[in-house]
Amino acid sequence: MDKGRFGRAIEEIKKGKRFIVISHVNPEGDAIGSLLGLALALKGMGKEVIAYLEDSVPDVYNFLPGREMIVHTPEGIGKVDATFAVDCGQMERLGGRFVSFNGKGTVVNMDHHITNSYFGDINIVAPEASAAGEIVFDLLTEAGIKITPDVATNLYVAIHTDTGSFRYSSSSPEAFKKAGELVRFGADPWVIASRVYENYPLKRFKLLSMALSTLEVLNGGKVSTLKVTLDMLNSVGGGKDMVDGFVNFARAVEGVEVGVLFRECGEDEYKVSLRSKGSVDVSKVAGQFGGGGHPNAAGFNIKGGFEEVKKQVIDALHASLGGAQKICQKT
């Protein structure tokens, strides 16, 4: 929090009456939880609050308190006193319709991405936070705004999902401490976990069954691959979102450093997802193919026949793994 302070954000809350709370396109748990947590907290103070997401909310988050508040277009909103953007690194990622909207008021940018562009009038950027939900928690705490069970549930989901159920290295002492406080305020870990992690359509497991049947370990055991074809998706009647998380099964094989998922997305076209246990920075590998991401999670799109694409990816990973292992296949 080198730039920006809660002081100025709290001032905006105190003096304003109408607010937008917004997060990024393609929203996930931290975006939606932080947004709804802040929106409900402000509403609880008697403010008029518009919860805005340009994209739709994944079904899995439909249980979140305040979900029904979310609108997807700025039409009819009119001018607000301030817009609170949470978990969003760049203005463009709020969505094209919102960027063109003229009624934003003071823009308060509250984010934890180190790449944040400081696009707000007020910027509270805390890369050390595991989730934007932590920053919202800190704001509410400093401002003395009540954290109700509904607010706590949303902020807990934000932290829970962005730390991968408290498994990623972002699971800091502060993240645990705040999660514990949110449980004290009424978030229910089991109800939330069962809604987030035990709420998949039957056909996703049928698809997983097919995908796992393709599992291979390569590169002397350091790389594992999975494949999902359009035929598989069509046979279960699933959309591409259904494949989310499958790549983690590839990484979860013992001895494997990098898990790879090839998802066919068109004729001779693949979406490649990479997940690393830590020894390889897969964002650099993805970068070689025009993609990007984080050191442990990255991806890119690539054109070509499957065997050709696979060879290119495995060769690039082989080089990143130090090239010490002879590429060989175990089944």
> Applying CB under 8 A, which residues contact its own copies?
160, 163-169, 171-177, 179-181, 183-184, 188-191, 193-194, 197-202, 205-206, 208-210, 212-213, 215, 217, 224, 248-249, 251-254, 256, 277-278, 330
Compare residues 117 and 248 and give the one whose CB is closer to its own copies: 248
Residues 271, 277, 281, 283, Cα dihedral to 10°: 30
Nearer to its own copies, 239 or 278 (CB): 278
Q: In whole angstroms, how close is the CB of 63 to its own copies at the nearest point?
A: 11
Radius of gyration of the chain (CA): 21
Mapped onto helix, strand or coil, the DSSP state of residue 101 is coil
Q: Tell me if residue 272 falls in helix, strand or coil.
A: strand
- Smallest gap from Cβ 289 to its own copies, in A, equals 24
Q: How far is the CB of 276 from its own copies (least distance, A)?
A: 10
To its own copies, the closest distance from the beta carbon of 254 in angstroms equals 5
48-52: strand order across its sheet: 70-71, 48-52, 18-22, 82-86, 106-111, 122-125
| 44 or 164: CB nearest its own copies | 164
Nearer to its own copies, 16 or 164 (CB): 164
Q: Report, in Å, the least distance between residue 222 CB and its own copies.
A: 13
Please enumerate, as own/partner, the contacts of 93-96 that have beta carbons within 8 Å and a separation of 24 or more.
93/24, 93/25, 94/22, 94/23, 94/24, 94/25, 94/54, 95/24, 95/25, 95/53, 95/54, 95/55, 96/54
Torsion of CA 41, 26, 274, 268, to 10 degrees: 170
Indicate the residue among 26 and 213 with the shorter CB distance to its own copies.
213
In Å, how far are 75, 124, 183, 266 from 151, measured between CA atoms?
27, 20, 11, 41
Smaller CB separation from its own copies, 165 or 288: 165
Residue 13 near residue 48 (C-beta atoms within 8 A): no
In the complex, minimum distance from the CB of residue 235 to its own copies, in angstroms, rounded to a whole number:
12
